[in-house]
Amino acid sequence: MRNGRMSEVTSALSGRLAFGGDYNPEQWPEDQWPEDVRLMQEAGVNLVTVGVFSWALLEPEEGRYDFGWLDRVLDLLHAGGIRVDLANATATPPPWFSRAYPQSLPVDEHGAVRSYGARQAFCPSSPDYRSAAARLTTAIVARYAAHPAVVLWHVHNEYGCHNWHCYCDTSAAAFRTWLRQRYGELDALNDAWGTAFWSQHYYDWEEVLPPRTPAYQTSVNPTQQLDFWRFSSDELLDCFRAEARILRRHSAQPVTTNFMHFFKPLDYWAWAAEQDLVSNDHYLMAEGLGERGATHDLAMSADLVRSLAGGSPWLLMEHSTSAVNWQPRNPAKAPGQLRRDSLSHVARGADGALFFQWRASRAGSEKFHSGLVPHAGTDSRQWRDVVALGSELRSLAQVTGTSVESEVAVLFDWHSWWGLEMDSHPSADVNLMTEVRSWHRALWEQGVTCDFVHPDAELDRYRLLLVPNLYLVSDAAADRIAQFVRGGGTVVVGWFSGIVDENDHIRLGGYPGAFRELLGIQVEEFAPLLAGQQVTVTGLGRDHLATVWAERGQGTDAEVVASYADGPAAGDPAVTRRSRGQGTAWYIGTRLPPDALKEVLGRAMGDAHVVPVLDLATWPAGLDAVRRRGADGSYLFAINHGGEPVRVPAEGTDLVTGRDWTTGTTLAAGDLAVIVQR
Ligand code: GLA
């Protein structure tokens, strides 16, 4: 496990939070660059990412490099006191490359070759791409490792964003190599994939393929699919590793690649272990998350990224000053939102807030994406907001290096996610993010901070563990959870958890196989609901209407907290609770509506003695409060995303305004405070 080197970047920034973004000077005439640097100084920008999509300009033809312009940009930035996160520029090979090596283009599951002309048009297993990327990385690091402006290496960009799976023959061969390493013998693969079913037995490794589009209206072997997700994440990670190795061999600066938080194709637990510091890109989804959903997403994303970083400070590599351009409808941010959004990440452990991108482009696919310098120029509210944010971040320098503490963990596993959402399951409405989002939100709306944990994580420092939809689980992870409960922890397991082992084979003897004993329940049959169907759940105060899922079964020695009053599982338990050793194990067997879920998780919090970060009788809508703690005291971030003033019961000094804070002080609608408590 690497990680933890964000402090080297902040030291290079004189102990300040990082502020800046992607700087793409190649999109602009050179005589404008000095003005860019002057404006960066005006805004307090101290870190910019350069060269992400510069391959075509840096290597105009194979083996011939043109570094002149980049030399001049880096020298100019250095002279202006701006530090650089320098990309190795491998994110998108130039058209000449794709034309010279057409077999490097990615192929989709239908066998169609995907073209260049956008970005990331390469097969992750392509030896031609890999050696060209290695040569370019070597040339760049050889030239710039000693450049005084460079404080961080930015490998590639958002790995897998557009090419997470490739089904070409090269990928097929690489998949077989990966499978040989995993299984050794073909018989072991046949066993793991359950190929006795549907006449799929393999007699020769060469018969094994990626899960290409199957014959009409049927389903590809699920373990083959699961292994292909695993392979594809590993294959891109190999690309990262190879490039990072070259950078590390020639340079002492830390190395990172920017994550996309809950990005399904990449197992970021495995990726995070290879980063010198974890960095992330976060963009708000304008639609589909419901009221306050986007605000909550800021917190949930940052909680994941901090957890991936093992609790160390991390870097928000990209977000947007206002609108993006890649959603169907792209709303502008409301006044004040830029500041609230940026500080939401800092509150949860980011030691900097960078953006895509410095200047809003005038050409290309992202010309309608906001930037730090908008199309309107600097005589604009957007620019004034950027300058104000820069100054605010400067005033928060002392939070760098501090960390966020949490007593609650949410178990999150990419392998289980891949297995959970496979076709041919009891219900197509099962969706991990819907579930994780609502569980995390139920705590967020009560002022409780959560970490995310890998199934193999140490759980000792937590009081409460949430396990939503952990479909696939190893024996070792299930044992660790049981041990956590026996040792006094409280766990809440969600429906359709503990169902299969790592090979996606059902755990026999009744559901939820891996957790039956711990929870004291025995589910005989799933009873998924039809689209729009609701069932009544009684026992949680008033009746509630649950959706998507129900189960026929019984609590053996668990207390039945709530049951189904109607529907396919009428009379059976919906929510159970059982004391185990010194701890407590809860089970939720259906998708509860938000208020009912809040009620159950609230009771579990009571069992675990978990308390919110602020002592408030009811948590005001839109208040995000979280604490960062350092050697000299703690910093309570209170961000009021709501439309009403809220009272924040805390004592200390607001770092942003310098005013004293007492328990009666209110935070105006849309405002924020960082209250230092010593
Ligand atoms: C991602 C990419 C950037 C840009 C932004 C737009 O984060 O890394 O290059 O495309 O999205 O939102």
> Phi and psi (nearest 5°) for 355?
-130, 160
Please report, for residues 375, 462, 626, 638, the alpha-carbon distance to residue 449 in angstroms, rounded to integers and kept in the order given.
38, 12, 7, 13
Three-state DSSP state, 119 = coil
pLDDT one-digit tens code per residue, 268-302: 999 999 999 999 999 999 999 988 999 999 999 99
Residues 6+ apart with CB under 8 A from 129: 93, 97, 101, 104, 122, 123
pLDDT one-digit tens code per residue, 81-134: 999 999 999 999 999 999 999 999 999 999 999 999 999 999 999 999 999 999
Query: Which atom of ligand 1 is the closest one to the Cα of 52?
Result: 9
**Å from CA of 394 to ligand 1 middle:** 25
In this structure, which residue's CA is closest to atom 3 in ligand 1? 356
Q: What ranges do the domains of the chain cover?
A: 6-106+120-161+228-399, 169-209, 408-608, 623-677
The DSSP line for 161-180 is: TTTS---SHHHHHHHHHHHH
623-677 maps to which CATH number? Answer: 2.60.40.1180
408-608 maps to which CATH number? Answer: 3.40.50.880
Ligand 1, pocket-test mutation among 53, 54, 356, most atoms within 8 A of CB: 356
**164 close to 123: Cβ distance less than 8 angstroms:** no
> Phi and psi (nearest 5°) for 97?
-70, -50
H/E stretch holding 606 reads helix 594-608
Terminal CA-to-CA distance of the chain, rounded, Å?
Answer: 32
Residues constituting the chain: 678
- Stretches in the chain below the pLDDT threshold 70: 1
Query: Which atom of ligand 1 is the closest one to the Cα of 258?
Result: 8
Ligand 1 pocket at CB < 6 A? 157-158, 281, 283, 318, 324, 356, 366, 369
**What is the model's pLDDT at position 556?**
86
Ligand 1, pocket-test mutation among 120, 281, 357, 358, most atoms within 8 A of CB: 281
Tell me how far apart the alpha carbons of residues 363 and 356 are, in angstroms, rounded to a whole number: 15
**What is the model's pLDDT at position 1?**
58
In this structure, which residue's CA is closest to atom 2 in ligand 1? 158
**Å from CA of 14 to ligand 1 middle:** 28
**What is the model's pLDDT at position 2?**
76
CA-only gyration radius of the chain, Å: 26
Please report, for residues 321, 640, 645, the alpha-carbon distance to residue 664 in angstroms, rounded to integers and kept in the order given.
33, 16, 12
The residues carrying an active-site annotation are: 158, 318
Query: Which atom of ligand 1 is the closest one to the Cα of 281?
Result: 7
**What is the model's pLDDT at position 215?**
85
Q: Cβ atoms within 10 A of the Cβ of 488, count?
A: 13
Residues 6+ apart with CB under 8 A from 96: 56, 60, 61, 62
Neighbour-count burial of 414, counting CB atoms closer than 10 A to its CB (0-12 exposed, 13-18 middle, 19+ buried): buried
**What is the model's pLDDT at position 505?**
98
Tell me how far apart the alpha carbons of residues 206 and 224 are, in angstroms, rounded to a whole number: 15
6-106+120-161+228-399 maps to which CATH number? Answer: 3.20.20.80
The pTM score is 0.98
Tell me how far apart the alpha carbons of residues 626 and 417 are, in angstroms, rounded to a whole number: 28
**415 close to 502: Cβ distance less than 8 angstroms:** yes
Q: Is the peptide bond before 483 cis (omega within 30 degrees of 0)?
A: no
**Å from CA of 286 to ligand 1 middle:** 16
In this structure, which residue's CA is closest to atom 4 in ligand 1? 356
**599 close to 541: Cβ distance less than 8 angstroms:** yes
Ligand 1, pocket-test mutation among 155, 158, 369, most atoms within 8 A of CB: 158
**608 close to 542: Cβ distance less than 8 angstroms:** no
